[in-house]
Amino acid sequence: MCEQKIAGIIEKYRGRPGALIHALTEIQHENHWLPREVMHKVADALEVPFSQVMQIASYYKTFSLTPKGRHQVHVCTGMTCHLRGAAKLMGKVEELTGLKAGETDTEAKFTLEAGSCLGSCSIGPELIVDGKHYGRMTPERAADVLKQYD
């Protein structure tokens, strides 16, 4: 975590309780998660109860209360992707990253997620890395995609 950058973000919003979501969003973008001690600093600086910070941080899916990797890897496991080979794709991605769904590697390089339909059924199975969609993905092509994120 870059403490200096996070301190700068918190200072930018000091005394502005209405900017809570903006502050948390910037910290999440910088740090990839929201540590409890940072949320206490945000609460103090923005003059809002810590419980309000926790409520916002735990309500919105964009925020993470656990460490995440620099690269978010998501394999769609919705019905269409499943029928088109998502299980084999997931197996290959697990092999390549050494992770199971929901895990982050020790170097915080990758976080692997699996989930239901992402609305791109016509191009399944789908691999998404940092929001970039890779459709009609095969286990063989997954290694080439993940190499781009070293």
Reported pTM: 0.77
Reduced 3-state DSSP string for the chain: CCHHHHHHHHHHCCCCHHHHHHHHHHHHHHHCCCCHHHHHHHHHHHCCCHHHHHHHHHHCCCCCCCCCCCEEEEEECCHHHHHCCHHHHHHHHHHHHCCCCCCECCCCCEEEEEECCCCCHHHCCCEEECCEEECCCCHHHHHHHHHCCC
Give the right CATH number for 71-147 from 3.30.565.10, 3.90.1300.10, 3.40.30.10, 3.40.50.720. 3.40.30.10
Q: What is the pLDDT of residues 5-16, one digit of tens each?
A: 999 999 999 999
| Domain range 3-59, CATH architecture | Orthogonal Bundle (1.10)
Check pLDDT > 80 for residue 57. Answer: yes
Read off the pLDDT band of 117 (50, 70, 90): confident
Show me where the domains of the chain are located: 3-59, 71-147
Q: What is the pLDDT of residues 59-102, one digit of tens each?
A: 998 899 999 999 999 999 999 999 999 999 999 999 999 999 99
